[in-house]
Structure 1
Amino acid sequence: MTTRVGYIGLGNIGLPMAEWLLAPGLDLTVYDVADAAVAPFRGRAGIAPSLADVGRAADLIGVCVRDDADVQEVVTALLETMTSGLIAIHSTVRPATIVELAKVAADKGVAVIDAAVTGGAEGARSGRLTAMVGGEAAAIDQARPLLSAYCSNIVHAGPVGQGMTLKIVNNLVTYIELLGAVEAYRLAAAAGLDPAKLSEVMTDNGNLTPAMRAYVGFRGTMNSDVFAASQAALSTLAEKDLSLAAALAAESEVSAPLGEATARLFRESVTRI
């Protein structure tokens, strides 16, 4: 039996995720606002002319778009044509956005779950993303043909919204450690140390996480033009993600001063060579 799947948002992570849905037993339809983004799927999958057409063509739909406003636009359009099925939100957005959309969708017979992912573009290309999922157990089982195509681990965080909460807290750690790595290697170089020695020690004592190692190595290979563009993009993403962490802390009445400091210092620090 063939499962009709859809994917919306073919960016840096979304495109390789969607490519895993070009598999036996899956009938894929894709959509993106950019014609160039859907080009790799021509002749290999259905190309929907609109968001609503994805809703007509698919029963399980993954969504990986930019922000809360985009997620709301996508789900609203899909619900114009869907009367059953499931929408999995991969975008990092406010948990409340997922909860609100899930309520609206349920009235139309459609399940909405949050299925935030971690592992980056490389994890998407290798099919080894980790999904942090919020929703009822039955909905998660329903989503497995979609999620298991590009995720090697599916973590059920709790009710709708809790998957996104887990992603936001995880991202907080990521940005804190990346800022820490930049500061440590900058200080080591300024003090005359060979950065490789710092890497050796931090590898042995466990301080150098895989994400930090990859990021430090990436910074060391970039020319000035690539460096400026990549770090500006990273800073914009960090500001969005850290603002979500700050909002979560405020809603939970928890102090998060390290997160606040990271948000304040991140762009200036990482965009400086």
Structure 2
Amino acid sequence: MRTGYVGLGNIGAPMAHRLADATDCLVHDVSPAAAAAFSSKAQWSASPAEMGKAATFVAVCVRDDGDVRRVVDGADGLLRTMRSGLIVIHSTVAPATVVDLAGQAAACGVTLLDAAVTGGPDGAARGELLVMVGGSDEAVAAATPPLRIYCSHIVHAGAPGAGMALKICNNLVTYIELAAALEAYRLADALGLDPEKLTETMSANGNLTPSMAKFIDHRRSGPDRIGREAFTASQHALVMLGHKDLALAAQVAADGGPALTTTGHVAAEFERIIMEGIGR
């Protein structure tokens, strides 16, 4: 199987490295400079369309719905040249986007799955991502061997779009818990408490999830560990991602779903909560 990976960003790059280490791999990114890190292990494709001529499994990890549509069905998209094989979408996008593109792909003889991931860059580098997949049993079975190269846990959520729906629900919890943890530690500080006592308490009673613990540690040690400028940039990136993902949750819920009251409050205040005390 010749594979391809489009989108060599924060999490895409370590996923692509694992794929390139294990397969004959093509890579592409909007920034040609990203090719440098893959010069010894993967072949650069000038466009998704060029990649589609050769690859039979292509993973896509770009920013948003518009980018995914351009990669899959744009003027230089994969479907301009692919006539068989699998496309898996790792980007977090609207379920409706996946359903639409899956239909277009099927018309070209290509199977498109949504395969949303969680676990971060470190998990990707270790091959320990969790992937939430939407598609038929047959399609998921076909995609499983290459997905196993960088994912240790595969959840088949249902039909096309279900993987994204599951990821959106999961993200909703993630951003709310990060905001809650940050405010809890700020309150503890204001009350004169040792923050380690709060960590000890919430670790013992199960309130402190691994994601929260990692986030709080980064907030406390990040400026010294990676430098103030890089730390501030990381928090800006979190805000941008949070706004996108929480907006997706609101978008999905607006189509006959429940009122996401807590999510709405967190979305409205997310930038203030995260950036307070850091600066812009």
1:248 is aligned to 252
Query: Following the alignment from structure 2 to structure 1, what is the Cα–Cα distance between the partners of residues 249 and 146?
Result: 28
Q: Which amino acid aligns with 2:29?
A: D
1:31 is aligned to 28
TM-aligned CA deviation for residue 251 of structure 1: 1.2
Query: Following the alignment from structure 2 to structure 1, what is the Cα–Cα distance between the partners of residues 41 and 199?
Result: 44
1:230 is aligned to 234
Identity of aligned residues (%): 53
Query: Following the alignment from structure 1 to structure 2, what is the Cα–Cα distance between the partners of residues 8 and 126?
Result: 20
Q: Which amino acid aligns with 2:173?
A: V
Q: Which of 62, 67, 73 is residue 70 of structure 1 equivalent to?
A: 67
Report 1:71-150 matches (<5 A).
71-76=68-73, 77-150=77-150
Query: Following the alignment from structure 1 to structure 2, what is the Cα–Cα distance between the partners of residues 269 and 142?
Result: 43
TM-aligned CA deviation for residue 225 of structure 1: 2.8
Q: Which amino acid aligns with 1:14?
A: G
2:209 is aligned to 209
After TM superposition, the score normalised by the length of structure 1 is 0.97
Question: Is the 2:21–2:41 Cα contact (8 Å) retained in structure 1?
Answer: no
Q: Deviations over 1:150-194 (max 9, x none)?
A: 000110000000000000000000000000000000000011001
Query: How many residues are aligned here?
Result: 270
State whether structure 2 residue 63 is matched by structure 1 residue 59: no
Q: Deviations over 1:80-114 (max 9, x none)?
A: 10110110000000000000000011011000100
Question: Is the 1:62–1:146 Cα contact (8 Å) retained in structure 2?
Answer: no
Q: Which of 26, 37, 46 is residue 40 of structure 1 equivalent to?
A: 37
Q: Deviations over 1:198-217 (max 9, x none)?
A: 00000000001000000000
1:191 is aligned to 191
1:239 is aligned to 243
Q: Which amino acid aligns with 1:264?
A: A
2:163 is aligned to 163
2:2 is aligned to 4
2:154 is aligned to 154
2:47 is aligned to 50
Structure 2 segments unaligned to the other structure (5+ residues): none
Query: Following the alignment from structure 2 to structure 1, what is the Cα–Cα distance between the partners of residues 232 and 5?
Result: 31
Q: Deviations over 1:46-93 (max 9, x none)?
A: 111111111012000000000000000000110010110110000000
TM-aligned CA deviation for residue 45 of structure 1: 1.1
Structure 1 segments unaligned to the other structure (5+ residues): none
Q: Deviations over 1:238-265 (max 9, x none)?
A: 0000000001111133111011011011
Query: Following the alignment from structure 1 to structure 2, what is the Cα–Cα distance between the partners of residues 144 and 121?
Result: 20
2:20 is aligned to 22
TM-aligned CA deviation for residue 270 of structure 1: 0.8
Question: Is the 2:51–2:78 Cα contact (8 Å) retained in structure 1?
Answer: yes
TM-aligned CA deviation for residue 233 of structure 1: 1.2
Question: Is the 1:31–1:47 Cα contact (8 Å) retained in structure 2?
Answer: yes
